[in-house]
Amino acid sequence: MQYTHLGRSGVSVSRLCLGTMNFGPETNEADSHAIMDRAHEHGINFFDTANVYGWQKGEGITEKIVGRWFAQGGGRREKTVIATKLYGSMSDWPNDTYLSALNIRRACDASLQRLQTDYIDLYQFHHVDRDTPWDEIWQAMDTLVTQGKIIYAGSSNFAGWHIAAAQEAAHRRHFTGLVSEQSIYNLLTRWIELEVLPAAREYGLGVIPWSPLNGGLLGGVLRKQASGGGSRSLSGRSAEALEKHRDKIEAWEKLCAELGEDPAHVGLAWLLHQDGVTAPIIGPRTVDQLDGSLRATEITLDDKTLTRLDELFPPPGNGGPAPEAYAW
């Protein structure tokens, strides 16, 4: 496994991040534990979760699954850089949501209890809170750092200007601020190249792409459909997106076949070639899916292939960062 620093921080994380969102709803606890054990066998030390995962309000089901895995010992906690998130509603009461200092304190303590650990390596804002001032947010996070409950702070789903505002506010307080941003990013969804990626690079944030295969559309969905599989990607918005982009997906899968590689692995490999990307989040539902994902770290895409991918999946505007992407 290859490792890199998480943004400008000194902590080293694997180039693939194990996403746990399927643990509970899609994958039972025993299989979830097996996936995490196998991740360590492969050298994956970076795990991502959130207090709302499990999708039963207030239960924190996925964090509890991870916590019971940590509790088995054997160095599981010590070997893991665990990232979790807060923002989403954990009850119907008004202060159990968003990024008030009160909720930050309560949510952190609750996540620590569910995860059965005394510190969180990377505590992430799951979304931007437009109603809470950054001075309040950073005061609360500074307190958590001082108490030893968290080590680093990260964001998710921020715009470029949100990152700038957060970092400038942190600098005024002489606080480290954000070390990472978790954004949707894949060949079909490249909006962050306009301003989020440039802002992250400027402020030293590592980018952690979620939905690296765009809900499975870049994972060989047409090939699976032809063989009688892939039904999970053929409902709701995924089905609508497939029809909208069918020509591109057909060309994409043909290109991957020419390369002799699985589309899912090429999609991950493309992200690993992007400047500023730390680790795409993979969300395996089985050990076999996890094993297959490791191939992405071994694929090198040459300039010709990268150019073909840009032609097939053009970046927004004229390409590159703002303002050149849409102005002179």
Give the tens place of pLDDT for each residue, 284-303: 999 999 999 999 999 999 99
Q: Which residues of 269-279 are buried (b: 16+ CB within 10 A; e: fewer)?
A: bbbbebebbbb
Q: Which of 3, 53, 98, 123 is catalytic?
A: 53
Instruction: Tell me 129's DSSP state.
Output: -
Assign a CATH topology to domain 3-219+263-302.
Answer: TIM Barrel (3.20.20)
Q: What is the mean pLDDT of residues 149-161?
A: 98
Residue 246 has pLDDT above 70, yes or no: yes
Residue 232: band (very low, low, confident or very high) from pLDDT cuts 50, 70, 90: low
Give alpha helix (H) positions in 209-283: 221-226, 236-244, 246-259, 263-272
Residue 273 has pLDDT above 90, yes or no: yes
* Other residues' Cβ atoms within 10 Å of the Cβ of residue 198: 18
Residue 319 has pLDDT above 90, yes or no: no
Which of 65, 44, 62 minimizes the C-alpha distance to 53?
62
pLDDT at 80: 98
Residue 238 has pLDDT above 80, yes or no: no
Which of 59, 46, 186 minimizes the C-alpha distance to 124?
46
In percent, how much of the chain has pLDDT > 90? 91
Average pLDDT over the chain reads 95
pTM (2 d.p.): 0.95
Q: What is the mean pLDDT of residues 132-147?
A: 98
Residue 282: band (very low, low, confident or very high) from pLDDT cuts 50, 70, 90: very high
Q: Tens of pLDDT along 83-127?
A: 999 999 999 999 999 999 999 999 999 999 999 999 999 999 999
Task: State how far the Cα of 64 lies from the Cα of 211, in Å rounded to an integer.
Answer: 23
pLDDT at 267: 98
Residue 230: band (very low, low, confident or very high) from pLDDT cuts 50, 70, 90: low
Instruction: Tell me 8's DSSP state.
Output: T
pLDDT at 234: 56
Q: Tens of pLDDT along 43-89?
A: 999 999 999 999 999 999 999 999 999 999 999 999 999 999 999 99
Q: What does the angle CA 270 – CA 213 – CA 47 come to, to the nearest 5 degrees?
A: 90
Which of 65, 84, 70 minimizes the C-alpha distance to 17?
84
Contacts of 144 (CB under 8 A, 6+ apart): 104, 105, 108, 123, 150
Q: Tens of pLDDT along 166-189?
A: 999 999 999 999 999 999 999 999
pLDDT at 320: 86
Name beta bridge partners: 181.
Answer: 155, 207
Question: What are the angstrom distances between the C-alpha of 242 and each of 47, 97, 130, 188, 248?
Answer: 29, 34, 33, 11, 9
Residue 235: band (very low, low, confident or very high) from pLDDT cuts 50, 70, 90: low
Name beta bridge partners: 5.
Answer: 12
Residue 36 has pLDDT above 90, yes or no: yes
pLDDT at 227: 80
Higher-pLDDT residue of 12 and 243 is 12
326 is catalytic: no
Residue 240: band (very low, low, confident or very high) from pLDDT cuts 50, 70, 90: confident
Q: Is 275 helix (H, G, I), strand (E, B) or coil?
A: coil
